[in-house]
Structure 1
Amino acid sequence: MSDEPLREQTPDSLELRHLRAFVVVAQELNFGRAAARLFVSQSTLSRQIATLARSLGCVLLRRSTQYVALTLAGRTLLEQVPAVLDDLDDVIQATRSTGGELAERIRRLGDQFADLTYADVDALRAAAERHYALMPIAPEIAFAPVNAGGVPGLVASPAQPDRAWVLLLHGGTYTSGSAYGFRSLAGALADTVHGKVLTPDYRLAPEHPFPAALDDVHAAYTWLISRDAAPHDIVLAGDTSGAGLALSLLLRLKDRGQPLPAGSVMFTPYVDLSAAAPGTLPDLPAPSATRRGTAWGIARYLNGHRLDDPLVDPLHADLRGLPPMLLQAAAGDEGLPDAERLTDHARSQGIDVRLEIYPVAAQSFQLYWSFLPEAADALTQVGDFVRTVSGSAPPRP
């Protein structure tokens, strides 16, 4: 029998998010600043720290109305845990890089788009709906059709929703996608936000070029604030080109002096439309999953509309006065520069903006929330963001 003393095991209830929250609080020694960095409420942060202390059986922080101070146990934890978290992140990254099963699964899901171009919009639309149909629906989420100011759509709702609303604008390069197809993401958002999600079926190009889609989402937003929600309870969310459409809506609302929502969430925002400029469009359509390929879809949406119109060029528009933004992008996606440029531009104009970059390669990776850990984490961050900026729903444990 070994004379070496037994080491205590890590408590089963210990959670990484609580450790990460503690590190930020310990670095800031201020719950307000720490909550802002993590995009959670102070009450949520306090509960996370209290849960961590109970799991460890130690008092980690001393807190009064004037100050936050580390105990000796807290100092010990702060000295050790950042390196542990960094090592764990490296291990997870190496494991995923070696295995690659999730990346391969996502690649197979996108195989049907490999040979499609925007020269055949009908085939693209059918492939998109087949793709969305493979995504599961979050349990205990109900869907109801609505007429949102003359625009058809679907509302996703949990059993007992809070006051928060999300107006979700689907992607598809303005030419494909639907409210029905986006039920999986809408349901996941409704679950994480614990509020209702309206996905309008805005009109698509080339049958309905700019500004038809903008007119439709504007009508849906106006209907929403006139019927069921105050602007401060609403957050816009857009996926790829839907993020560009969300920015167009925000700029139109600002220009017309209409109430703005509480914030906006951009999933892999597609906002640089310069590839569709006259003289730059490739002679033959490229595969639809590439940026050169999507340029054809954008050109059909713009239908000759000038590219320097601020409503379609948020990278050069006056964004001052817009509400907080949360941007999420994939590190391995060729659309990442759009997110980075939009972040820099918004920040230079005084917008409260946060960019989160996840170590995945898939565009619109949030769609894969049911099996991709990064997607599930991203939606958790969206839920915290919505509750923080809207102030309409209490934090969830």
Structure 2
Amino acid sequence: MPLRNESPAGILGRMVEPLPQTPEGVELRHLRAFVAVAEELNFGRAAQRLYVTQPALSRTVRGLEKLVGCDLFHRNTRSVSLTPAGAALLDRTRDVLTDLDAALTAARSAGGALSARMGQLWSPVEETFNGELAPMRSAFELMHAEFPMPEGIRLEPVNAGGVPGIQLVPAEDFDTTVVYAHGGGFMMGSAYGYRGMAGAVAQAGRARVLVPEYRLAPEHPFPAARDDVVTAYRWLLNTDTEPEQIALVGDSTGAMLLLSVLVRARDDGLPLPRATVLLCPAVDFYAPEDDPPADVEQHMRFQNAYLAGRSASDPEANPLCADLSGLPPTLVQSGEFDGLGRNTDVLVARLAAAGNTVRHDIFGVDGHAFQIYWSFHPEAADAVQQVGEFLQKPAPLTA
């Protein structure tokens, strides 16, 4: 029996036999067009409301009627009214659109909250860029202190052939050892400060992760950092660790540094590691003939400190100018809206043109080296998990 005061549309709705599934081809534009006409009962006003032409709106509604299999409106030259089928569809369609709008609002809100949290963590660092070196380094360390180490990862000090550092060791057995080069513009960052990010790679990849404490500019310009990481890599090779068990991972300028390490190791005749992972590689040295990057003054401060008078096109210091042939298979991750990643596509193209296997994954994230936010950002966590899967493969994934 019908409920008291129940609308005809509600009665009809209860009588309708449900379809096994929504007809293929029904799109959101069909539903929004239908609701606009049903509420206005005038195609001209509904078209103005949706910012479309009246003929286009009529075609959309006709298309929906064909997909549903019945007329939704009575039309004549003077009026438009809902058919019983249209009345049955209207209430449910309103609910669908309301729920969808609420879902999109929640997604935007969550995305905005994540971006805001990333910005709150990064802003105190950026505010120090035009000031003294010590506060800049302290702010960078304080930011990284906010990131946790995953549970079950053991931290140990290590001396890698005279280069101090730490290693992160998972509880379970591991077959891969990672050399991790941290970011920080060649002027900031530390092995201990990066324990959270390195620990996440250790957990995701079920790998031991060695983080060398390479020397920083401006006190120690190029090639000090590169030579320290090469020394740590040589030490690994001399401790019964096979090159097939070694992978290199680095973020931002650490990724750029690893490319210089690989070129030096290759030219010195060392066996190369099994794979390389470059997280938001900052391969964007600026030369006078180039278009200036964003925040060019800050950019030049880091670049000049590292190069110490060397040319920005020096192939030893700038991997984009080096011979990149014969390097290990490489996974590159970047953020779609990362202003510091302007030359990532160039790097990927040059690696591929040199005959290397390279895969480039782009994430819709607004932030440089976004992977460091893995503990609260879902896309960053997914990116780290993909790094882990890449490291666990007996043979790295192909492009």
What TM-score comes out, normalization by structure 2 length? 0.71
Distance in 1 (alpha carbons) for counterparts of 2:104 and 2:330: 28
Of 361, 366, 370, the residue aligned with 2:371 is 366
Name 2:385's counterpart in structure 1: 380
Equivalent position amino acid for 2:392 in 1: R
Structure 1 position 343 matched with structure 2 position 355: no
Contact 2:352 2:358 in 1 (8 A): yes
Conserved? CA contact 2:332–2:361, under 8 Å: yes
The residue aligned with 2:150 is 138
CA displacement at 1:307 relative to structure 2: 2.5
1:202 aligns with 2:214: yes
Letter in 2 for 1:111: S
Q: Tell me, in whole angstroms, the C-alpha distance in 1 between the residues paired with 2:175 and 2:395.
A: 9
CA–CA distance in 1 between the matches of 2:189 and 2:306?
14
How far apart, in 2, do the equivalents of 1:187 and 1:291 lie? 33
Answer whether contact 1:238 1:246 (CA < 8 A) is retained: yes
Residues 1:254 and 2:259 are matched in the alignment:
no
CA displacement 1:41-91 (0-9 Å, x = unmatched): xxxxxxxxxxxxxxxxxxxxxxxxxxxxxxxxxxxxxxxxxxxxxxxxx99
Partner of 1:264, secondary structure, is: strand
Which of 83, 97, 101 is residue 108 of structure 2 equivalent to? Answer: 97
Note if contact 2:223-2:317 (Cα within 8 Å) is conserved in structure 1. no
In structure 2, C-alpha distance between the alignment counterparts of 1:145 and 1:6, rounded to whole Å: 64
What is the CA deviation profile of residues 15-59 of structure 1, one whole-angstrom value per residue up to 9, with x for unaligned ones? xxxxxxxxxxxxxxxxxxxxxxxxxxxxxxxxxxxxxxxxxxxxx
Higher relative contact order (CA 8 A, sep 6+): 1
The answer as to whether partners of 2:284 and 2:340 remain within 8 angstroms in 1 is no
Per-residue deviation at 1:2?
6.0
What are the ranges of 5 or more consecutive residues in structure 1 without an aligned counterpart? Answer: 9-89, 392-397
Look up the match of 1:273.
285
CA RMSD of superposed structures (Å): 2.6
Residue 306 of structure 1: CA displacement? Answer: 2.7
1:271 Cα deviation from its structure 2 partner: 1.3
Highest CA radius of gyration, 1 or 2? 2
Greater shift, 361-370 or 115-124, is seen at: 115-124
Give the 3 Å change call, closer, same or farther, for CA 124–166 of structure 1 in structure 2.
same
CA gap of 1:261–1:133, structure 2 versus 1, over 3 A, is same
Question: Which AA in structure 1 matches 2:325?
Answer: R
Distance 1:163 1:181, change over 3 A: same
Q: Which runs of 5+ in 2 are unaligned?
A: 1-13, 22-100
How does 1:320-335 map onto structure 2 within 5 Å? 320-335=325-340
Task: Report percent identity of matched pairs.
Answer: 41
In the alignment, residue 260 of structure 2 is paired with which amino acid? S
The 8 Å contact of residues 181 and 254 in structure 2, kept in 1 or not, is answered as: yes
- Whichever residue aligns with residue 205 of structure 1, its letter is A
Q: Figure out how many residues of one structure are paired with residues of the other and give that number.
A: 303
Q: 1:338 to 1:93 in 2, by over 3 A?
A: farther
Q: Does the Cα contact within 8 Å between 1:169 and 1:239 map onto a contact in 2?
A: yes
Give, as a single letter, the amino acid of the residue that structure 2 aligns with 1:309: D
Distance across 2 between alignment mates of 1:300 and 1:318: 24
Residues 91, 363 of structure 1: alpha-carbon distance in 2 compared, 3 angstrom cutoff: farther
1:309 is aligned to 2:314: yes
Equivalent AA in structure 2 for residue 377 of structure 1: D
Q: 2:275 matched to 1:263?
A: yes
Output the amino acid matched with 2:108: S
